[in-house]
Amino acid sequence: MDINYIPNSYAMELDLHQLRVLDVLLREHSLTRAAKVLDVTQPALSKTLARLRRYFDDPLFVRVSHKMEPTPKAIALAKPVGEILDQMRALRGEHVAFDPRTSTRTFQFCVVDAGVIKLLPPLVNRVMIEAPNVRLRVIQLEGEHLESWLESGTIDFAMGSFASLMKGIRRQFLWTEEYVSVVNRGHPRLSRNPSLREFIAENHVLVSTLGTGHAHKLAERAVETAIPPQNIICRVPIFIAAAVIAKHTNAIATLPMSIATVLAEDLNLEIIRPPIKLPKIEIYQYWHNRFHREPGNRWIRSVFLGLFRAPRANSAS
């Protein structure tokens, strides 16, 4: 049969990628963010959206201010499209085995840089032994999108302390993080146990994780409350930068203990006990209920649990 005689209604069938594009656009309300989630170029995404519009004979999304708002037709499609994608994930999870010894999968996850420094070295060593062809990719943390990334499968899981994560997100306790301060070894004025007066008189570099939703903000506020504003000489978004600045300026950087112990050795820093009240933060791994039974996701979570869980026992919620 000549393809020119095929009716238009059969000329284009939807594939799973197109359904996922629709699903992500319904969450992100932005071509730019959706392209980032799907790891495609924005022109390619625009072409897929054009095909979806022709197929459903509807605009699906219209620009309102800076957002792409769904039409009533797109809103009506949200539930059935989500159900189809869930069914396909279930089929893949039930019928596609995961063997770490032969898998070439890339696992993606979010974590602040403190977690990268603590987690990546032992994790990479373990993966190279148990799953030599598996690869790891750390995605820059954006609190605004974390929940949707977990739900869509853009990332396999997240590590940290994110109290605001709600719908469909499972969590599993790993360890409790405490805070200490670091200074250049041989600091001219500070001992390992400085007095409050000595501590607040020094210059400080503050780590700000604004926009990530991470509970580190509690420690950030505690330091801001105790230290005179004129003595906070610098604010940086990553922990390792604070430690490097402390090394070269005699300033104090207050960090999670797990990263401070690593950086103190690598950068020849001294760990001191801050004479101010700082929070203890519970660290979890997070994943979406959609992927709870998916074999690969279960494997990588079990690796993290085996490597990093503290003696305290706590089951996934």
Tell me the pLDDT of the chain averaged across its residues.
86
Give the end of a domain, one of 50, 65, 95.
95
Interval 164-179: pLDDT, tens: 887 789 999 999 999 9
Residues 141 and 286 in one domain: yes
As to burial, measured by CB atoms within 10 angstroms (0-12 exposed, 13-18 middle, 19+ buried), residue 31 is middle
Same domain, 256 and 139: no
For residue 49, give both structure tokens.
């959206």
Can you tell me which residue has the tokens 């409050």? 196
Whether residue 254 is found in the same domain as residue 293: no
**CA dist., res. 24 & res. 21, Å (int):** 5
> What type of residue is 227?
I
Task: Please check whether residues 139 and 256 belong to one and the same domain.
Answer: no
Percent of the chain predicted with pLDDT > 90: 52
pLDDT band at 6 (very low <50, low <70, confident <90, very high): very low
Clarify whether residues 160 and 121 are in a common domain: yes
Residues 6+ apart with CB under 8 A from 82: 23
Residue 293 has pLDDT above 60, yes or no: yes
What's the rounded Cα separation, in Å, for the pair 207 and 236?
5
Concatenated DSSP letters for 38-76? Answer: HT--HHHHHHHHHHHHHHHTS--EEEETTEEEEPHHHHH
* CATH number of the domain enclosing 191: 3.40.190.10
- Same domain, yes or no: 238 and 301: no
**236/293 same-domain check:** no
Three-class SS of residue 95? helix
Rg (CA), the chain: 24
Residue-wise pLDDT for 201-259, tens only, equals 999 999 988 777 788 899 999 999 999 999 999 999 889 999 999 999 999 999 999 89
Would you say residue 8 has pLDDT above 80?
no
274 is a domain residue: yes
- pLDDT at position 159 over 80: yes
pLDDT, position 169: 92
Say if 10 falls within a structural domain: yes
Any domain includes 55 = yes
Classify residue 266: in a domain, yes or no: yes
Provide the residue range defining the domain that includes 70: 3-95
Instruction: Please check whether residue 285 is in contact with residue 171, taking contact to mean a CB–CB distance below 8 angstroms.
Output: yes
160 phi-psi bin (left φ>0, alpha ψ -120 to 50, beta other): left
Count up the domains in the chain and report the number: 3
Question: Distance between CA 303 and CA 298 in Å, rounded?
Answer: 9
Domain co-membership, 196 together with 237: yes
CA proximity to 196, closest of 277, 250, 252, 275? 275
Query: Between 145 and 270, whose confidence is greater?
Result: 270
The pLDDT value given to residue 125: 95
Same structural domain, 15 and 87: yes
Please state, in angstroms and rounded to a whole number, the distance separating the CA atoms of residues 42 and 64.
Answer: 18
Same domain as 265, residue 295: no
At 142 the pLDDT is 77
Q: What is the pLDDT of residue 314?
A: 46
pTM comes to 0.72
Q: How many other CB atoms are there within 10 angstroms of residue 278's CB atom?
A: 17
55's CB contacts (< 8 A; 6+ apart) are 12, 14
| Per-residue pLDDT tens over the stretch 76-90 | 998 888 888 877 766
Residue 125 lies in a domain: yes
- Looking at residue 4, its pLDDT comes to 39
Split at pLDDT 50, 70, 90, the class of 1 is: very low
168 with 231, same domain?
Answer: no
CATH number at residue 81: 1.10.10.10
